[in-house]
Amino acid sequence: MSKQTHFALFGAVAIAVLTTTSHAYADDSRDGFYAGLAIAGSGVATEEGAGVPQRDNSKTSIGAFAGYKQKVYSNYFIAGEAFINDTSQDRTYSNGDRLSFGTQYGVKAHLGYEANWGSVYAILGAANLDYDVTLSGSTVSESGISPIFGLGTSYQINEKVSANLEYIGTGDSINIAGKSDRGVGLGVVRLGLAYHF
């Protein structure tokens, strides 16, 4: 079982415990500013093909975020959030293949629904994607803004504190090692605690 799978299972159990032990506070969710810290598990990978195997790596680190949440109709809400995740990692293989990724930062919108047990939401946004990939002797480096997509869930523990579990993914297609559209991707699972002002 991979590090990412362990982290996802831990996050799912943590959210399950919070939602089953804190029902009294589910209706305390409110509009306004929030900020928090998180544990961020990130995984990077390149697509196999043209005689080159898949290359991947993972890391568990920290992140931070701040945003504003607003109900728009009935139980539906939107939120805007700025974030940073320490996804920087570097791995070199014995044959010289290398994966190097930088820190991820960006902005995202949450479009969601709030029930009496908590909320679920879709994530759309844009974030920095910074990588340096070497496969079979060829190297491609890029640093730019890339779209991100994901899903999340949040639970209001009490009037001021909430927990959230999210997954966001992004990627690119690169021309390297005999394949013109080889996929390179970055995925992040984030388990955070937020303070609501």
Residue 191 CA to residue 23 CA, distance in Å, equals: 20
From CA 27, how far away is CA 47, in angstroms rounded? Answer: 44
Residue 90 CB neighbours (<10 A): 12
Show Cβ contacts of residue 54 under 8 Å, excluding neighbours closer than 6 positions. Answer: 45, 46, 47, 48
Taking only the tens of pLDDT, the chain with its 197 residues reads 444 444 455 555 555 544 444 444 544 456 899 999 999 999 999 988 878 889 999 999 999 999 999 999 989 999 999 999 999 999 999 989 999 999 999 999 999 999 877 899 999 999 999 999 999 888 999 999 999 999 999 998 888 899 999 999 999 988 888 888 889 999 999 999 999 99
The pLDDT, as a whole number, for residue 103 is 95
Determine the pLDDT at residue 107.
98
Cβ–Cβ < 8 Å for 106, 85: no
Contact between 88 and 110 under an 8 Å Cβ cutoff? The reply is: no
Would the CA dihedral through 70, 73, 74, 80 be positive or negative? negative
- For 44-77, give one letter per residue: b (16+ CB within 10 A) or e: bbbbeeeebeebebbbebebbbbbebeeeeeeeb
The domain total for the chain is 1
Task: Give burial (CB, 10 Å; 0-12/13-18/19+) of 32.
Answer: exposed
| Single pTM value for the model | 0.82
Q: Tell me, what CATH number does 103's domain have?
A: 2.40.160.20
Q: Which domain holds residue 76?
A: 3-196
